[in-house]
Structure 1
C-alpha cells in the first residue's frame, strides 16, 4: 500500500531475500495442522489470489499462476501446489485491522473544508522532508497547487494517512478516491503508544476511536499529540478504479475485504497466500493473500487485516489487536529450498 512502497514491492516480487530469513525460525507444517482449514471458503481466497497473481514474476510462481484461473476446486489447488510454512515465533504474533476511510470534502477551500489533502511535492522525493509539524504550521505547501481536496476534520485526515488510502465524498455528492503517494521520510511514531506512556490510558484501552475522542476533547493538546508523529503521508488521486472494487494495495491492485492483509515483505512475500489464525473477540481462521504493506507492519508474525470501507469497518478495525498465528503458503520447491540445512 509508489515511493517507499515501491522498494518493498520490488523486493517482495523476488519473494523475500534469503538474508532476511538467515536466522529466522522456519518450520514446514501440514494442512492438518492449520486449525479450521477444512471449513474455509477457499474459492473466495482463490479469487483474491488471482487479483495479484499475474504480477508475480519468479518462474515457480508464473507456472502456478498460469493454471490458477482454470481451477474448479480451490482447496485442492492450494493443497496441491503449496506448502504451509511457519516463519518466526507465533508467540510474537500480532493481528490488527485496517480499513478504507470515507471523509467529507470539497475541491475548494471553505471555512468548513479547510484541511488539505496534499500530493507529494517534488522536493520530498529526495530524502527526509519537512516534519508533520512543519507542514501543518507553515506555508511551505500553500498555494502550490498540491491540494487534491480539502476535508472538514483534521483527526480523520490524520487517520486517513495511517490507512494510506480512502474515499472523499464531495459536496456535490460525487466521490473521489485517493491512494498512497509517498511520505516525508520521517519515522512513524505511534500516538496511541504516546498516550500510554503519558499514563492517559493503559495499552488495552487504546484504539483508533479512543484516540479520536481524546483529541477532539482536547483542542490544544489534541493537535499536539498528533504532531508527536513526525511521519506525514502524501496522496495521489485514483481515477481509473471501479468504485465497486476495493482500494489498491502495495501491488497496485485492488484488495479484498477480509481476504487481503498487509505484511512485512522482508519475511512474507507479497502475493503469497497466508493462512491466519486470529485469537480475538471474534476468532478468525481463513486463507488470505499478502497484498499490502504498512510502515507499522514489521516482523515475521505481523499482519494487518483489511476489513472494508466506511465507519462500520473502521470501528471493527480499530478494536482488532489480537494474538494468533500466520502461516505462509509457498510453492512446494521454494518452501523446501528455504529450509535451513540443519532441518533437512
Structure 2
C-alpha cells in the first residue's frame, strides 16, 4: 500500500487497557493533570466539560485518568514519528542600538489585504517598513530572528532583565521555502547533515552568502506582543493557553482532539514514556501517529528538541463513551 493509499484508508481503532501502556505506573500523573487543567475549561463538548469539573477536585490524578478515560490506539497506516519543538529566547532591546539593529515587526495593514504581499527580500531591503512604528523590539542576531519566525513565537530578553513575549501575528502570503533543502540542493550538505544549528553556523561563517540564503525563503512572519502571559509560563499554543514543558504535545486535530490526554511511548536515544496533553498543532504535524513534543524555552531546550526524530507510538485517552463510540459497528 502506498503512503497516499494508507492516508485515505479508514484508520484502525483499538481500545487498550492501562496495563498495555509501557511505564504508565511510573509517570507523574499529577503533572499531567495540571497541564490538562490549563486547557480543559475551554472544551465546550459536554463530555469534556463534565470531566474538567471533576478534574478540578481530583485528589488522585492517576485514579482520575483510569476511572474516566480509555486508551485508544488510532493507526492510519503511517509510521509513528516524534519530533521536538521549543520557544526561542533572543537577546534584544526596546530601542535600536549598534548591537540591537534587527527589527521584530508587527504586521502592516496593507499586508493583511494584499495577498501575497512583498517577499522577505523586499520587506527587509526596500524601506517599506521604516519610520512607521512597526517595531516591537530589536534583536542582535538575524539568524535567530529567522528561526524565531519558523517557530512562530518566543521571548526577547532586554538588557535590564525584562522580557517581552511575542506570538504569531500573520505572514506575507508567500509559501515557506526550506533553506536547509536549498543547502542540500547546492551540494553544501547531505540531507542527514542538515539541522537548525548547522544552518545557523553556516550563515554566521558566510555572512554575505548567508544573508542571500535566508532571502531564499520568500515567506515572512510578523509578530504581536503577548503581554497577558507571565514570563514564567509557557507560550500560547493552538488553544490560546500556555503550554507546558514536556507535558504539551502538538498533534493533528483530524485524529486527536485538542485538549485530550495522550500517552507517548517515544523510542530513540532518549526513550520517553509519558502522559501529555494535546494542546498545540503544526503545519507539519499530519497523521494519527505524528506528534511534536514541547521541550521548553531557550537554547538548551532548542538543542534537545532539534535532536528528536524518533519512532514509537501515541495512544489517545478519550472519555469512556467517546472511546467505545469510535469502534466500528460489527454489523456493518
With normalisation by structure 1, the TM-score equals 0.87
Query: Which residue of structure 2 lines up, in the alignment, with residue 78 of structure 1?
Result: 65
Alignment of 1:167-316 (within 5 A): 167-316=155-304
Over residues 119-176 of structure 1, what are the superposed CA-to-partner deviations in whole Å (9 max), with x where a residue is unaligned? 1222333443333233223223222221101111011001111222111112333221
The answer to whether the 8 Å contact 1:90/1:325 transfers is: no
> How big is each residue's C-alpha offset from its partner over 1:34-84, in whole Å with a ceiling of 9 and x where there is no partner?
221121111110000000010001111111111111111111111221122
1:34 aligns with 2:27: no
Aligned to 1:135: 123
Does the CA-based 8 Å contact 2:11-2:77 persist in structure 1? no
CA distance in 1 between partners of 2:42 and 2:329 (Å): 31
Do the aligned partners of 2:73 and 2:315 also contact (CA within 8 Å) in 1?
yes
CA distance in 1, matches of 2:192, 2:21: 28
1:141 is paired with a residue whose SS is coil
Mapped contact 1:21–1:267 kept (Cα < 8 A): no
Is the contact between residue 10 and residue 76 of structure 2 (CA under 8 Å) also seen in structure 1?
Answer: no
Find the aligned partners of 2:123 and 2:12 in 1 and give their Cα distance.
42
Query: Secondary structure, in 3 states, of the residue corresponding to 2:155?
Result: strand
Aligned pair in 2 of structure 1 residues 341, 233: CA closer, same or farther (>3 Å)?
farther
Q: Please give the secondary structure, in 1, of the residue aligned with 2:301.
A: helix
What TM-score, normalized by structure 2, do the two folds share? Answer: 0.90
CA contact (8 A) 2:183 2:189 kept: yes
2:113 aligned with 1:151:
no
CA distance in 2, matches of 1:299, 1:51: 25
Of 72, 77, 82, the match for 1:95: 82
Distance (Å, rounded) in 1 between the aligned partners of 2:213 and 2:16? 44
- Please name the residue that 1:330 is paired with: 318
TM superposition shift of 1:306: 0.9
Q: Specify the SS of the correspondent of 1:86.
A: strand
Residue 91 of structure 1, CA deviation: 5.2
Deviation track 1:260-288 (CA, whole Å, cap 9, x = no partner) reads: 11222222221111111111211111011
Within the candidate set 51, 55, 77, 2:42 is matched to 55
Whether the aligned pair in 2 keeps the contact of 1:90 and 1:324 (CA below 8 Å) is no
Comparing 259-268 with 89-98, which one deviates more in the overlay?
89-98
Counterpart in 2 of 1:105? 92
Using the TM superposition, give the Cα deviation of residue 22 of structure 1 relative to its aligned residue in structure 2, in angstroms: 7.4
Q: 1:276 to 1:113 in 2, by over 3 A?
A: same
- Assess if the C-alpha contact under 8 Å between 2:253 and 2:281 holds in 1: yes
In structure 2, the partner of 1:12 is: none
Q: Which has the higher contact order (CA 8 A, sep 6+)?
A: 1
- Give the superposition deviation at 1:342: 5.3
How well do the aligned residues superpose, as a CA RMSD in angstroms?
A: 2.2
Shift of 1:96: 1.4
